[in-house]
Amino acid sequence: MSGPSLETASALASRYEAVVIGAGPAGLTAAARLAEGGASTLLLDENPAPGGQIYRSIEAAGAGDLRRLGPDYAHGRAVAERFRASGAAYAPRATVWDVGPATGPVAGGAADRASTSNRLVSLTLGGAGRAIEAGHVILATGAIERPMPFPGWTLPGVMTAGAAQIALKTAGLVPTGRVIVAGCGPLLYLLTSQLLDAGAEIAAVLDTTPRGNWLRAAPHAPGFLASAYMGKGLKLLRTVRTRTRVIGGVTALATEGTGALRAVRYGTGSGKGALEADLLLVHQGVVPNANFSNAIGCAHHFDEAQRAFVPDLDDWFASSLDGVSIPGDGGGIAGAAAAEVSGEIAALGALRRLGRLGEAPAMEAALPLRRRWKSLQRGRAFLDRLYAPSPAFLAPPDDDTIVCRCEEVRAGAVREAIGLGVAGPNQLKTFLRCGMGPCQGRFCAGTVTEMIAAGRGESPAAVGTYRLRAPVKPVRLSELASFPETPEAVLAVTGSHSTDRIEPLSTGDMQ
């Protein structure tokens, strides 16, 4: 069994053979496999309990919760149990903000492998900062919802569908009043049916799936028909359609209300409408949460089908940086079942690299997993094309739409800068402060890239995305004050040697 959760930075060892970041299906499985393989392993996660977003609160879920959220959610129990039984150390509520190359002699015991290069993982835990050595790092940072900008998306009463699902899973919160769900993608219908089952009143689903997507997806239908998604997906669509009103072909959205949502206006090819609403839940798919891999220097490429930047990975899910692997949705969206399999493959690759597993046994163990991973990809190509977001919600046409929620930069200002010939996302950031707030561009990077691409008639791949730097999460000076290498770390983060101030700093302001 894993011991009690580690709650303070001083409770951590100075070195682990493997450090895993993120406790979703990929991270939990990778950590379990590494510990089972004999490697000293630490799992760091931002949340108070294992599960990530998909298996949120899985250990605390009662029979009713498991029934309501379905067997795919309930499977998370087994994933968490395997991790708990593996002997890996576990530090919840830890914020990791950098993974850099380690310098100097490696502290540690007999488990050291001289042949492996080491990484330095910087984090805060229990209010104190710490840097620990890792022989190998597994980044399992998962997915985030793709931003869906439209006029008034910052109004209280507008949330992501994922946020409503988290509130349901963690606190059993069910929306009351008139709820409208808008956007596209499988999660939209899954959430709608979960909320209906929980007794919510869904006034309408505004489906923004572009009509032409069906044609583009059709050539990939055979793969989809043979996949596990098919039966589940059709059943969901049917359930939702019989229980609420679905308005398809929605091409424009806007909110009304001062201080709080009052109504949602929408447009379709054939007209306009407005619906009174207390809560609007939006969603247009998920993208890899690549801020971390971007900030530490992993190479990325633009994936046309997923319409997002994804890290370059080899067939062990190892990134371009030696000693850093990225399984799960953080390495490319493939879903929870595939994340579990890729976590296992990444762990095998790490054990092999750490000298814990020979080449032949690693290959042999990976073979059936690779086959399973491939079979889980079946149907993806169809879904990616069917649920490709509409251009109007990737590069918002209305100048008044906020692009950067943190710094309140609007589409009009972004378009003006593009018209003036801004060199790319990084220069735009300097000009407009777009992406410089505390979220570090997580909610505007995609939109900015799409807007520049649309403005210039180039591909997003050619435009690129923000270049990020550690720390990837805001760090407080008081947390750094407890750091062993205080002067350098403080200088690196704040540009000043002083450690006596305790004002929190938002990292975005320092880039």
Partner 1 sequence: MFRRLREAAPALRFRFDGEPLTGVPGDTIAAALLASGRLALRKSVVGGEPRAPYCMMGVCFECLVEVDGVANRQACLTPLTDGMEVRSQSGARTIRPAAGQEP
Alpha helices in 444-506 (DSSP H): 445-456, 460-463, 477-480, 486-494
Which part of the chain contacts partner 1 (CB under 8 A), choosing from 7-15, 184-192, 269-277, 437-445? 437-445
Return the number of the residue (118 or 194) whose C-beta is nearest partner 1: 194
The span from the CA of 478 to the CA of 502, in Å, is 5
The interface with partner 1 within residues 80-99 (CB under 8 A) comprises: 93
Per CB under 8 A, does 239 bind partner 1? no
Give the type of residue at 211: R
Token reading at 81: 């149990």
Within 8 A by CB and 6+ apart from 271, the residues are: none
Within 8 A by CB and 6+ apart from 354, the residues are: 17, 18, 39, 113, 116, 135, 136
Q: Which stretch of DSSP H or E encloses residue 311?
A: strand 308-311
Given a contact cutoff of 8 angstroms between Cβ atoms, the answer to whether 374 and 194 are in contact is no
The span from the CA of 345 to the CA of 366, in Å, is 6
Q: Of these, 284, 289, 294, 325, which contacts partner 1 (CB under 8 A)?
A: 289
Per CB under 8 A, does 57 bind partner 1? yes
Per CB under 8 A, does 4 bind partner 1? no
Which part of the chain contacts partner 1 (CB under 8 A), choosing from 43-51, 118-126, 302-310, 415-423? 43-51
Which part of the chain contacts partner 1 (CB under 8 A), choosing from 25-33, 57-65, 348-356, 370-378? 57-65
Which part of the chain contacts partner 1 (CB under 8 A), choosing from 45-53, 111-119, 342-350, 388-396? 45-53
Per CB under 8 A, does 278 bind partner 1? yes
Per CB under 8 A, does 427 bind partner 1? no
The span from the CA of 458 to the CA of 451, in Å, is 10
The interface with partner 1 within residues 345-404 (CB under 8 A) comprises: none
Q: Of these, 145, 340, 344, 384, which contacts partner 1 (CB under 8 A)?
A: 145
Which part of the chain contacts partner 1 (CB under 8 A), choosing from 31-39, 362-370, 421-429, 489-497? 489-497
Per the rule left: phi > 0, alpha: psi between -120 and 50, beta: everything else, 332 is left
The span from the CA of 193 to the CA of 233, in Å, is 11
Site string for partner 1, 156-195 (x = CB under 8 A): xxxxx-xxx-xxx-xxxxxxxx------------------
Q: Of these, 29, 40, 41, 53, which contacts partner 1 (CB under 8 A)?
A: 53
Q: Of these, 437, 446, 460, 471, which contacts partner 1 (CB under 8 A)?
A: 437
Smallest separation, CB 89 to partner 1 (Å): 21
Label each residue of 3-41 as H, E or C. Answer: CCCCCCHHHCCCEEEEEEECCCHHHHHHHHHHHHCCCCE
Per CB under 8 A, does 474 bind partner 1? yes
**Which neighbouring-strand residues pair with 16?**
134
Enumerate binding residues for partner 1 (CB under 8 A). 46-48, 53, 57, 60, 64, 93, 144-145, 154, 156-160, 162-164, 166-168, 170-177, 198-199, 259-260, 278-279, 289, 405-408, 437-439, 442-443, 474, 494-496, 501, 503-506, 509-510
